[in-house]
Chains A and B, each alone.
Chain A
Amino acid sequence: MSQNKNLEEDANQNPRVTWEGCSVLLDVNDGDRLVFARLTPASSLAIGNKKYALQPLIGCPFGSLFQVENGKEGPYLSLVLPTTTEVSGDNVQEKVYCQIKDESKDNRALVDNNTAQSLTGEDIDSMRRQGATGDEIVQALIANSATFEKKTSFSQEKYRLKKQKKYAPKVLLRRPFTRSICETYFKKYPARSGYLRVGTLSLLLSMGNVSPHSDVLVVDMVGGILTGAVAERLGGTGFVCNTYLGVTPYPIDIVRMFNFSSETCRRIVRCSLTDLCSSHNGTSVQICQPEEVCNFESQSKEEKSPLCSISMDETVLSSEKGMLDLVPETSISPATKACKSTKAGEKASQETINLWKENGFSSLIIATPDVDAWSIVKELLPFLSFSAPFAIYHQYIQPLATCMHNLQLGKMAVGLQISEPWLREYQVLPSRTHPLMQMSAFGGYILSGTKICIDGQR
């Protein structure tokens, strides 16, 4: 019986096919544009100056590719099935042959004066009206280009890709997982996720020993990406306790992007530091005043209104030139309404808080890129179990150095280390392998260590 329940839970945690009401990440034209969306019969995606219904995407496997096609009722998104020629080995041979021919080609005779293409905009529009597919239009453009043959095969490929993006845009349906969500935010709206890079987030999860059945104490001022990542690793077991100084919980909207099961949502809870400290066996505890010790940047000013729970309603974020945006829902389908019963970020029950007080948390992860590290650590360390690991992410090294020093002086932890992750991506192509031209120079700093047991104290 429990075996079946486990399988069901797993299917919930790792679904490979979309369903109505699920959250997806749409990749338009190979990373040019990334959009989070919720698949409902009414939702749509804008590409260029047209809107395309997302209905065809429901019930398709993640990883499916869609292309804009011209239909009787107007343009729509159609599932692309890779043809067998694309996957055959013959292609590889052909490419090698092209490369040998290419060695004699270069661009000395190519003049960029806008006269190479003989098809006009009107010609293309009339082709569209006659029902030509995007690919056919691209073919026509290539056929009518005077300089196409003179280009190297790499250059021809670049040309073809450019035309395809404009006349036959493709949409890739991607699963929203920690990796894709974190990368998307880092690329498009890094300030909202505290400039947390994928590699850095993965280090926080490992250094924090996030494992099933753990109770993880988290201070998440990075929009919720950390909370979501921890919850994903817990897989519906243990708890993520989101704690905060003062009276207002930090916003964790990014958690909505994950397709968490109700069990996982139930285990994402919040508890203010005050609530954790109070009823602490009679000892009077200093309640940390946010103004005294913290240094909030403008980010917090936006979120003055208390966010007691996270609703499943979508809101349209102001999109900057259509970069990252949420697709507005014109109607809320019954499916999403049902999900509202278990919202992530509910207040922790007193029973759960008492359990945490008794057992301690199994790990502590702090991501407060603009706030002083030591002032938070010294308040939270007593709630961490003995021999439990902690990891603190920061954008500046000095607060971490001070924190590490204080931990050493107080003999509170061992294995203290400040690390800075370095990440470099490569382009690997025949005769053209080299690191990418663009590189992320900075991924933040992490202070990690293990709390030790000081006799007579917690």
Chain B
Amino acid sequence: MLLVDPAKKISFNRYISDGDLVIVYERHDNMKAVKVCKDSVLQNRFGVFKHSDWIGRPFGSKVFSNKGGFVYLLAPTPELWTLVLSHRTQILYLADISFVIMYLEIVPGCLVLESGTGSGSLTTSLARAVAPTGHVYTFDFHEQRAVSAREDFERTGLKSLVTVGVRDIQGEGFPDDFCGKADSVFLDLPQPWLAVPSVGKMLKQDGILCSFSPCIEQVQRCCETLRANFTDIRTFEVLLRTYEVREGKMESCQADESGSTGSLPCKRRQRSSEGSNAKEVSGSPTIMARPSAEARGHTGYLTFARLRCLS
């Protein structure tokens, strides 16, 4: 994903080649990841697209199908990847991911432990944050999911930054090899309090733990366990509200000078009826924004804590 190899970074001089991963953008809510293969085609409702037409063109190009329909080919980023990856589990989205990385104070060179891997949505962003010299060790107790995650990191070019292990962190804790070496630890487990003692051994002093839990009862139990060895315990909820933008004409309504019933000037279009004194005046097109009607109500609670300094 253009992270490890500086030669592959997003640039005017970076062209699509055979074997590259591209994000095919149809609409903001309709995208998929495709591996470019010179003999392949992509078929969708816009028609048939030949991959060979793509090779040699810059990322960000508009490409056409045999029927004249078009899509855009974007370079993969962790944000786009989160929107196109296959969900084997419920995933974390942009709002939580960006907050977690900031609050865990992850910088290049860090060693980060994660459990469970799930579908690798957060893991991809963790890899970007620790690159080029750090590493992410992620664990999942489900063998098949670990295999799928490894395949994904291979596809997105993150193999050198991420190691996937199969392990039951709740039952066994993290491997002893990491004792005192982790800068940050992330937990997304059904019973995170069972893993807290192990995390206490893994973290460097003043290292930070984050636990993500959908239910408040889990948060309460986890915080109780944290109070023994951790400090600066804080719990948050993060959400994103999106807005729609529209260019529209707003009709304004002006009351007749000859004394109306004193109604307030309004911007709604009034149907002229027999008894009405109102005049209709057309407004010029204006750009208006309002919040989207649908929103995600809850993802999970994020609890952060720092390991106490004991020396």
A interface residues (Cβ-Cβ under 8 A, vs B): 6-7, 9-10, 13-14, 16, 61-65, 81-82, 87-89, 91-92, 175, 177-179, 198-199, 201-203, 205-207, 209, 211-214, 232-237, 358-360, 362-363, 385-389, 397-398, 400-402, 404-405, 414-430, 433, 445, 450-453, 455, 458
Contacts and interface: CB of A to CB of B under 8 A. Distances in A.
Contact of B108 (A10, A81, A199): A10
B34 interface: no
A62 B79 CA distance: 32
Contacts of B97: 206
Contact of A199 (B58, B61, B128, B238): B238
Given A6-B109, A92-B224, A453-B61, A414 B28 contact: yes
Given A202-B99, A234-B108, A433 B131 contact: no
Which of B206, B233, B242 has the most C-beta atoms of chain A within 10 angstroms of its own C-beta? Answer: B206
Interface residues of B, number: 82
A62 B61 CA distance: 48
Nearest to A360: B12
B289 A418 contact: yes
Nearest to A416: B28
Contacts, number: 246
A422 B109 contact: no
A410 to B, nearest CB: 14
A425 B28 CA distance: 31
Contacts of A6: 109, 133
Interface of B: 2-3, 6, 9-14, 25, 28, 57-62, 72-75, 77-79, 94-95, 97-99, 101-103, 105, 107-110, 125, 128-129, 131-134, 183, 204-206, 216, 219-220, 223-224, 227-229, 231, 233-243, 245, 247, 287-289, 291, 301, 303, 306-311
B44 to A, nearest CB: 16
B241 A419 contact: yes
Contact of A423 (B59, B236, B309): B236
A409 B310 CA distance: 59
Contact of A209 (B79, B237, B311): B79
Contact of B309 (A63, A401, A415): A63
Contacts of A397: 243, 289
Nearest to B125: A206
Nearest to A427: B235
A360 B62 CA distance: 19
A322 B220 CA distance: 36
Contacts of A450: 60, 74
Contacts of B28: 414-417
Contacts of B229: 87
B79 A206 contact: yes
Which of A359, A388, A423, A425 has the most C-beta atoms of chain B within 10 angstroms of its own C-beta? Answer: A388
A426 B309 contact: no
A389 B238 CA distance: 22
Contact of B107 (A233, A389, A415): A233
Given A205-B102, A362-B11, A9 B133 contact: yes
Contacts of A417: 28, 242
B60 A452 contact: yes
A386 B241 contact: no
